[in-house]
Amino acid sequence: MGKNILIGITGSISAYKLADVVSELVKQGHQVQCILTENAREFVSPLVLETLSGRPARSALFGADISGTEHIELARWADLFVVAPASANVLARLALGLADDLLTTVALATQARMLIAPAMNTVMWDKPVTRQHVKTLRERGAGFIEPAAGTLACGEVGVGKLAPVEVIVAAINAGVAEQRQDLAGVRVLITAGPTTTPIDAVRYITNHSTGRMGAAMAEEALRRGAEVKYVLGIDKGVVRPVAPKGAEGRLTLAEVRTAEEMAEAALAFLPEVDGVIATAAVMDYRVAEPAANKLKRGAQAVSLEMVPSIDVLGALREAATGQWFLGFAAETDDVEANGRGKLEGKKLDFLFANPVARAGDKADTGFSVPTNGGVLLKRDGASVPFAVTAKADLARQLWDAIA
């Protein structure tokens, strides 16, 4: 059965993409209504949105044909309130609880869950004040569709592009899906993000992982009633899981940097859990002897001795006392064959293998992108393919497969 989707569109050049979002949602049987800020009207025609949705595209708080309670009616109509694209200005107004136009007034009045898809220049997205507004909104229960990386409208390259249409649609569908509690009472340990290995006092080596997949798996587990112990390797740009309202007490977060620290934290949690999900991208090698001071630049080449770091997943599997295991494998070649080798070599119950781009190439699966897809391999030899979709949607599908 279709849901009532209220979409607030703000002044971003990517606003025109919402026409495709509206069209797809209507095709899927949802009822859609749009609210535009005055600036949004400069980038997308209300007539286009009205034609696609079959409902008026609203903008004004006051007018001859507008009742004094229209904002309340819209607020109560919505099963989900989506703000996309969300500009830096509107993020700030939402975080501060301002209500100075129709969009922000409805946002303050509605009790529907809010789902926000930001779009802005990388510098604006990375500003501490913007990050604080995002943090505030997350803490109030808003969901976020992370912006994508790529060439921005200004010609610069970075994070800030509106997420792809298919990702937004998938996130909306996940947001209005009836939430099962089939994981109530389940305790799970999730490792996520990158690990680092120091070179000297100021430099280190790491990889491209942002922890998005792990965060998606954790948030879906929490929504379905699980208790989550979460060990996150931290670096610039990592994504931390945000517990849904009412589930805050079921999330325990430990932040680490090196593989050795991750193993120590994860092993401490292991006796308390029923299963392990290993999404972390652990460095296979570490610098043998990091310099205690800053290495100075010289004219000669420098060699680093790299030695194997601890196998975090292997250490957990060896210490296990009956827990089930789901591993992840990011592969550039022979994805399924290499994944099957890891599944068997580490004696896992499940392994999700996904392709990642080779150096210099781009891919819509793997690191630093909001989408993922691949194949779930099972211990009994079965394999289940998963099409590329938003990581939040993939997390839901993976939990459906293993729950």
Q: Which two tokens stand for residue 389?
A: 């979709």
346 and 317 in a common domain: yes
Taking phi over 0 as left and psi of -120 to 50 as alpha, with beta for the rest, 328 belongs to beta
Residue 112's pLDDT band (boundaries 50, 70, 90)? confident
The per-residue pLDDT for 360 is 62
User: Is residue 64 located within the same domain as residue 197?
Assistant: no
- Which CATH number characterizes residue 130's domain? 3.40.50.1950
Catalytic residue among 129, 154, 202, 288: 154
Render 231-283 in DSSP notation, one character per residue.
Answer: EEE--TTPPPP-PPTT-GGGEEEEEE-SHHHHHHHHHHHGGG-SEEEE--B--
Q: Is 154 a catalytic residue?
A: yes
pTM for this predicted structure: 0.69
Say yes or no: 204 and 169 in one domain. no
Q: Do 277 and 200 lie in a common domain?
A: yes
* 225 and 357, same domain (yes or no): yes
Compute CA distances 333 → 86, 283, 336, 340, whole Å: 38, 19, 9, 13
Whether residue 320 contacts residue 349, with contact meaning beta carbons closer than 8 Å, is answered with no
- Cα–Cα distances (Å) from 2 to 25, 28, 71, 144, 206, in that order, read 9, 7, 22, 22, 44
84 and 141 co-located in one domain? yes
Residue 85 located in a structural domain: yes
| Other Cβ atoms within 10 Å of 264 Cβ, number | 16
Is residue 301 one of the residues assigned to a domain?
A: yes
Is 181 within the bounds of a domain? Answer: no
- Tell whether 11 and 149 lie within a shared domain: yes
- Can you tell me the distance from the alpha carbon of 149 to that of 158, in angstroms, rounded to the nearest whole number? 5
Q: Tell me, yes or no, whether 218 and 137 share the same domain.
A: no
What was the pLDDT predicted at 87?
96
Domain boundary among 125, 153, 176: 176
Of the three residues 123, 150, 176, the one that is the final residue of a domain is: 176
What's the structural domain count of the chain?
A: 2
DSSP conformational letter for 221: H
pLDDT tens string 239-280:
899 887 778 899 999 999 999 999 999 999 999 999 999 999
Other C-beta atoms closer than 10 Å to the C-beta of 1 total 6
CATH number, domain containing residue 215? 3.40.50.10300
Encode pLDDT of 352-386 as tens digits: 999 887 666 677 777 878 888 999 999 999 999 99
Query: For the segment 45-89, what is each residue's pLDDT rounded down to a tens digit?
Result: 999 999 999 999 998 887 656 666 777 888 889 989 999 999 999
Question: Domain boundary residue among 142, 176, 210?
Answer: 176
Containing domain of residue 29, as a range? 4-176
Nearest residue to 204 via CA among 295, 279, 312:
295
Is 353 part of a structural domain of the chain?
yes
Residues 306 and 241 in one domain: yes
The answer as to whether 98 is a domain residue is yes
Q: Do 36 and 153 reside in the same domain of the chain?
A: yes
Q: Is residue 182 part of a domain?
A: no
Query: Based on the domain organization, do 194 and 228 belong to the same domain?
Result: yes
With pLDDT > 90 as the criterion, what percentage of the chain qualifies?
Answer: 73
